Amino acid sequence: KAGVTQTPRYLIKTRGQQVTLSCSPISGHRSVSWYQQTPGQGLQFLFEYFSETQRNKGNFPGRFSGRQFSNSRSEMNVSTLELGDSALYLCASSPGAGGNYEQYFGPGTRLTVT
């Protein structure tokens, strides 16, 4: 089974621009979660989508948004980029239902805002 893929792997943007990151989950998984990780900060939860609906949301400003398509692929968008948005953005794929809570991560997208 193919793992979780994220594109692009690296991105450099200028403050004020917007960016869209993409995540393809493991085949059959219906849940995609997004996390922001900065050095020494652990995994900060952004949001989770399950069957095209946002099921959970973290404490991030409205500049951060996401969506999920009918094939479970997900995108997240950050508008009006700030220097502090520079981070590793990780998506995680999960079955999303039943007793299995396991999440499987992609390699991440490294975003640098200058």
Partner 1 sequence: GQQLNQSPQSMFIQEGEDVSMNCTSSSIFNTWLWYKQDPGEGPVLLIALYKAGELTSNGRLTAQFGITRKDSFLNISASIPSDVGIYFCAGGNAGNNRKLIWGLGTSLAVNP
Closer residue to partner 1, CB minimum distance, 65 or 107: 107
Tell me the CA distances in angstroms from 27 to 7, 9, 10, 70, 98, one per residue in order.
17, 20, 24, 12, 17
CB of 16 to partner 1, least distance (A): 27
Report, in Å, the least distance between residue 84 CB and partner 1. 17
CB of 22 to partner 1, least distance (A): 15
Nearest CB to partner 1, comparing residues 62 and 99: 99
Q: Identify which of residues 38 and 77 has a Cβ nearer to partner 1 in the complex.
A: 38
HEC string of 23-70 equals EECCCCCCEEEEEEECCCCCCEEEEEEECCEEEEECCCCCCEEEEECC
Residues that bind partner 1 (CB under 8 A): 4, 31, 33, 41-45, 48, 55-56, 58-59, 88, 90, 92, 96, 99, 101-108, 110
Q: To the nearest whole angstrom, how small is the minimum distance from the Cβ of residue 114 to partner 1?
A: 19
- Non-local (6+) Cβ contacts of 17 within 8 A are 81
